Structure 1
């Protein structure tokens, strides 16, 4: 059994928090809280499209040369529509 230090556990908690924020962004800001497709194949495509759009927005934010986690997805989407 491996014993983890408090610093390692704190880092894992921070990584987990980032993942939770990512899911929140995708579900609420990008409208994926309710899937509208009816067949399993189409649901997979709908999820894939949301993930592609999310990653494209994150890539654009990264290219601004800012820390990607400091700029929200919502701000990135708003900047694209200006």
Structure 2
């Protein structure tokens, strides 16, 4: 039996960007950057970005993006 696969991730959350409009809160947004590395993962390097999944079961939510390469992928998840 092979070694267990593990995922290590960290998130950086930038301060709220008011989009240059101090008096309009509806156009404000946050930028979140998540960096992840895997040990003993599959050779496909398949990753998914999922919003709204149950953190305990991993079920539910919406897949925002799928990718098989190590690239930066901008994803828009919603507004303020």
TM-score range, shorter chain: under 0.3
Q: TM-score scaled by structure 1? A: 0.22
* Structure 1 or 2: more helix by fraction: 1
* Structure 1 or 2: more strand by fraction: 2
Greater RCO, CA 8 A, separation 6+: 2
